[in-house]
Amino acid sequence: MARQFAYYPGCVAEFSSKELNRTTKALAPMLDIELLPMPAATCCGAGDIAEAKPNLYLTLNVRILSQAEEMGVDIMTICNVCTLNLRRANKLVKDDPRLLEAVNEELVKAGARPYEGTREVTHLLWFLATEEGLSLLEKQGPKGLKGLRVAPYYGCQLLRPSSVMGFEDPDQPQSLERLIRALGGEVADYEAKSKCCGFPILLAREAVALKESHVALSQARDSGADCMVTPCPLCHLAMDAYQRKAEAANATEYNMPVLHLPQLIGLGLGIDTSIMEFKRHMVPVNNVLEVVGS
Amino acid sequence: MPTSTFDIFRYQPDTGPEHFRQTYELEHDADLTLLDAVLRLQNEQDGTLAVRYSCRSAICGSCACRADGKTVLACMSQVEDLKAQNGGQPIKVDPIGNFEPLKDLIVDMDPFWEKFKSVKPYLVPDGPAPEKERIVSKEAMQKIYNESKCILCAACYSECNSLAADADYVGPAALAWGYRFAADERDGQRTARAKLYSGEHGVWDCTRCMYCNERCPKGVDPRDAIEKLGGIAFNEGVSWADAGARHAKAFLISMRTGGKLNETLLVPFTNPIKSQLDLPFALRMLSKGKAPSPIPHRIKKLDEVKKLMKNVKETI
């Protein structure tokens, strides 16, 4: 029987980066997982609501956790920022029963279900980068990435703070590398793979953010990568949608296609490329498709 | 006795302008700290090797450096642990990041201290001094306990990704101290502080890379302090002044009206003028289907969310 998760794609994957949501849903049956919708779940607040109204952030996120609890399943995300916000709220209330009680009081007052603290939040990457996940990929008889040189890009919030995230060593992460190799790709290694893409301040401080994304984009280019891959749609926006702007701001060229993690898996498993909607990317991925022969 | 190899950053401005690296070997007891290793190298092998230190006990914050790329307090790091982490390779030792080196592992801390001073890191109580001391409850001190632990070692500053892109950013340590006083119930400058920290190169410049929380050797969690300063700015009503604060406000409005982020609102609301000038970019996004629907999404049970937004009080 397929493993069930409460599916929390996050706002960006549902709206401006629909290709991520659609590819994930297309992959799910091949990975033997069932993604159950959460129609009453809000935005996680993306760190912004936490920065304006911390108690409200906590209450809203515990409300989401409680919905998964009612469904009797754990949450699966496809976004670094959602993962951090949900996991942080979960840890805060699990570590402090009095805080959980106070939050539940508010939830009940608003007509929402209280949370018992029994659920976990995972990211698709974490699920797949385990022995169980890798064997699911193996079972599909991957067609392979045919030596595609892929620069793994983690970004920040799936790694740090490790006291909340805790899946792997934030200074020597290997989960993306394991997946790239398992799918027949080559890893293009570079130092900045876990530096910030600048997205959280991209709208408010564009010049600063474009200097941040430059570090990873230029290093990935210099490592000889055919493309980058990221588990986060916000990193994807910073690296793909804003890549031309970063080129102009830093007087250089990257020409670096950036794939969402599920797209890389889709290519490795050989699913129909039209499902993955590469046409929605700002930087063309033609060279990637040529190497993999899709 | 184990033997370890150290690959150390060198800069000796008296003899030449170039940076270079030097390798040293040392036989030592199993329980040697990185600071003691460097001091032994200085005493036994190379008197020119420069390092700043004082207490050797993780209290003074002087000996922060990078070990294998990661900022640590040298006095808190065991050589054998570092070797276990790097697979027995030579340990790379460098000065902390986001600073100019003065000599070997010693950096010019002046910009750090200037920024620290700029947040007014001292109590400014309202009214005349009382006859006896001001008594503060345990609960009130608990609010600023984490930030009070800061030893100004600059490990957070060394790794800050915002600072790497903007040398004028005030940085995590200074803002943690800012919060420590803004949230101190004896301080009378809360609104003034909220304004002071909310400008360009302040609270809203944090890129949330979370390196500061990860690296702080004392558990200060500077990013959490910056976040709380954002909350104070909202509470004190200074939240319209900066594009970063308006960005957060757009999330609150989205939450109230639909429960999900309304991307159509986010860009013009954060930066009304710039978003008009950026029309060619907006059109490129549009052509790729990246322009969100003007009709905001509406989640089920939005009434619960509206009630929470009305009821939940901020205690910052």
Tens-place pLDDT, residues B69-94: 999 999 999 999 999 999 999 999 99
Residue B88 gets which letter from DSSP?
A: T
pLDDT for position B122: 97
Question: Residue A64: closest CA among chain B residues belongs to which residue?
Answer: B305
pLDDT for position A4: 98
Q: B250, B212, B200, B196: which is closest to B71 by C-alpha? A: B212
CATH superfamily of the domain spanning B3-107: Beta-grasp domain (3.10.20.30)
Using the beta-carbon criterion (under 8 Å), do A279 and B297 form an inter-chain contact? Answer: no
Domain A132-292: CATH class, spelled out: alpha beta
Using the beta-carbon criterion (under 8 Å), do B204 and A17 form an inter-chain contact? Answer: no
Count of CB atoms situated within 10 Å of the CB of A288? 24
ipTM of the complex model: 0.97
pLDDT for position A210: 98
**Alpha-carbon distances, residue A207 vs A186, A201, A202 (angstroms):** 33, 9, 8
pLDDT tens-place values along chain A, 294 residues long: 899 999 999 999 999 999 999 999 999 999 999 999 999 999 999 999 999 999 999 999 999 999 999 999 999 999 999 999 999 999 999 999 999 999 999 999 999 999 999 999 999 999 999 999 999 999 998 789 999 999 999 999 999 999 999 999 999 999 999 999 999 999 999 999 999 999 999 999 999 999 999 999 999 999 999 999 999 999 999 999 999 999 999 999 999 999 999 999 999 999 999 999 999 999 999 999 999 987
Domain boundaries, chain A: 3-123, 132-292
Pairwise pLDDT comparison (B284 vs A92), residue with the higher score: A92
What is A108-137 written as a DSSP string?
HHTTPPP--S---EEEHHHHHTSHHHHHHH
Tens-place pLDDT, residues A217-245: 999 999 999 999 999 999 999 999 999 99
Question: Residue A192: closest CA among chain B residues belongs to which residue?
Answer: B161
Give bridge partners of residue B6 from the DSSP assignment. Answer: B24, B91
Domain boundaries, chain B: 3-107, 110-235, 243-311
Tens-place pLDDT, residues B133-176: 999 999 999 999 999 999 999 999 999 999 999 999 999 999 99
Using the beta-carbon criterion (under 8 Å), do A42 and B309 form an inter-chain contact? Answer: no
Domain A3-123 carries which CATH code? 1.20.1050.140
Angle B234-A204-A15 from CA coordinates, rounded to 5°? 95
Question: Residue A171: closest CA among chain B residues belongs to which residue?
Answer: B70
Tens-place pLDDT, residues B170-219: 999 999 999 999 999 999 999 999 999 999 999 999 999 999 999 999 99
Out of B239, B244, B300, name the one closest to residue A39 (CB).
B300
Does the pLDDT value for residue B268 go beyond 90?
no
Topology agreement, domain B3-107 and domain B110-235 = no
Q: Could you tell me if A105 lies within 8 Å of chain B, comparing CB atoms?
A: no
- For residue B292, name the pLDDT band (cuts at 50, 70, 90): low
Tens-place pLDDT, residues A145-160: 999 999 999 999 999 9
Question: Residue A191: closest CA among chain B residues belongs to which residue?
Answer: B69
* Beta strand segments in chain B, E: 3-11, 19-27, 64-67, 70-73, 91-94, 101-103, 106-107
- Name the 3-class secondary structure at A39: coil
Using the beta-carbon criterion (under 8 Å), do A55 and B254 form an inter-chain contact? Answer: no
Give bridge partners of residue A35 from the DSSP assignment. Answer: A5
| Interface-testing mutation among A44, A48, A104, A109, with chain B (most B C-beta atoms within 10 A) | A48
Out of A15, A63, A203, name the one closest to residue B247 (CB).
A203
pLDDT for position A260: 98
Tens-place pLDDT, residues B39-49: 999 999 999 99
CATH topology for the B110-235 domain: Fumarate Reductase Iron-sulfur Protein; Chain B, domain 2 (1.10.1060)
Using the beta-carbon criterion (under 8 Å), do A17 and B70 form an inter-chain contact? Answer: no
Q: Could you tell me if A276 lies within 8 Å of chain B, comparing CB atoms?
A: no
Could you tell me if A256 and A243 are in contact, meaning their C-beta atoms sit under 8 angstroms apart?
A: yes
Q: Give the Cα separation of B5 and B255 in Å (integer).
A: 55
Q: Could you tell me if B208 lies within 8 Å of chain A, comparing CB atoms?
A: yes
Does the pLDDT value for residue B28 go beyond 90?
yes
Using the beta-carbon criterion (under 8 Å), do A156 and B244 form an inter-chain contact? Answer: no
What is A149-213 written as a DSSP string?
EEEE---STTTSSTTTS-SS-TTS--HHHHHHHHTT-EE---GGGGS---GGGTTT-HHHHHHHH
Q: Could you tell me if B209 lies within 8 Å of chain A, comparing CB atoms?
A: yes
The backbone torsions φ and ψ at residue B67, rounded to the nearest 5 degrees and listed phi first, read -110, 120
